[in-house]
Amino acid sequence: MNALIIAAKEIHQAIRNRWVLAATLLLAGLALSLTFLGSVPTGTVGVRALDVVIVSLSSLTIFLIPLIALLISHDAIIGDMERGTMLLLLSYPVARWQVLFGKFVGHLVVLAFATCLGYGIAAAALIAAGSHIDADSLTAFAAMIGSSVLLGAIFVAIGYLVSALVRDRGTAAGVCIGLWLLLVLIYDMALLGVLALDQGRNISATALDALLLLNPTDVYRLFNLTGFANVSTFAGMAGLAQSTTLSAGVLLATLVLWTCVPLGFAALAFSWRQL
């Protein structure tokens, strides 16, 4: 019950600070742009419009959702400590893990609302424009939205872990931006460089799968672009879908694990921290 009260407070604060409105408008605007720009050639090449949208939004999500999640979570603990509100909050009969879990639920609700509404508008626009949407495409689109929310949960948890370890908000912001660059850009560039140099001599398919699992954005990409045949064919990843040993269930479980591990370490670090 205490955690739900804290979650409600975080949601109310996000609404008051215009985080919900800003994130929803940003996601909706970019989703609509990608929807109408990307679906123009589908009628001539025989590709279903919603499949194009899934590929486009998956690429957008990898860059944007982690950044939004880190922005709203990087000062969740250290920020309240600097303002003195954390000491006041813990003077009530509430456990530290309840504070952390309540904040997590609140931030995740905000992110889920913005993602579902922003991306849902794109699908609604396609329907309004008269595009045919079949069951396979709709299932893949729903899975993309759900996994996007889960990717956001991962980076909210990572932001909490950083916030529980650092000494000031400026350091938290810097570390989070560095982690965003590492996981979204640098890791894949480095991996591509290593694969190009190796040329298949030493890195086996199993080792490559393990390397991909070490980055949540790669797990998200694999889940959405190889998990559904209609999407993987258009995305140019049908070959990878056939060669990888990672099933959709394994990828989804890995995303859940990526959420639980940093959140658990954040709770542990917060429980040991002196106010």
* pLDDT confidence bin for 39, thresholds 50/70/90: low
Cβ(35)–Cβ(141) below 8 Å: no
Nearest to 221 by CA among 43, 8, 58: 58
Percent above pLDDT 90 for the chain: 40
pLDDT at residue 137 greater than cutoff 60? yes
- Lowest mean pLDDT, pick from 99-113, 122-136, 259-273: 122-136
- Which one has a higher pLDDT value, 118 or 45? 118
**254: Cβ contacts below 8 Å, ≥ 6 apart:** 213, 216, 219
* pLDDT confidence bin for 44, thresholds 50/70/90: very low
Q: What is the DSSP letter of 185?
A: I
**Considering its fold, how many domains does the chain have in total?**
1
* pLDDT confidence bin for 254, thresholds 50/70/90: very high
Calpha distance 257→194 (Å, rounded)? 26
CA distances from residue 50 to 27, 63, 151, 167, 219 in whole angstroms, order as listed? 17, 20, 21, 46, 22
- Lowest mean pLDDT, pick from 83-87, 134-138, 199-203, 232-236: 232-236
The whole domain housing 150 covers: 2-272
User: What six digits make up the tokens of 226?
Assistant: 């190889």
pLDDT at residue 196 greater than cutoff 60? yes
* Torsion sign, CA atoms 147, 235, 158, 115: negative
**245: Cβ contacts below 8 Å, ≥ 6 apart:** 205, 206, 209
Q: Residue 34: what residue type?
A: L
pTM score, two decimals? 0.90
Q: Residue 115: what residue type?
A: T
Q: E strands, the chain, where?
A: none
Rank 77-86, 104-113, 118-127 by mean pLDDT and report only the highest.
Answer: 104-113
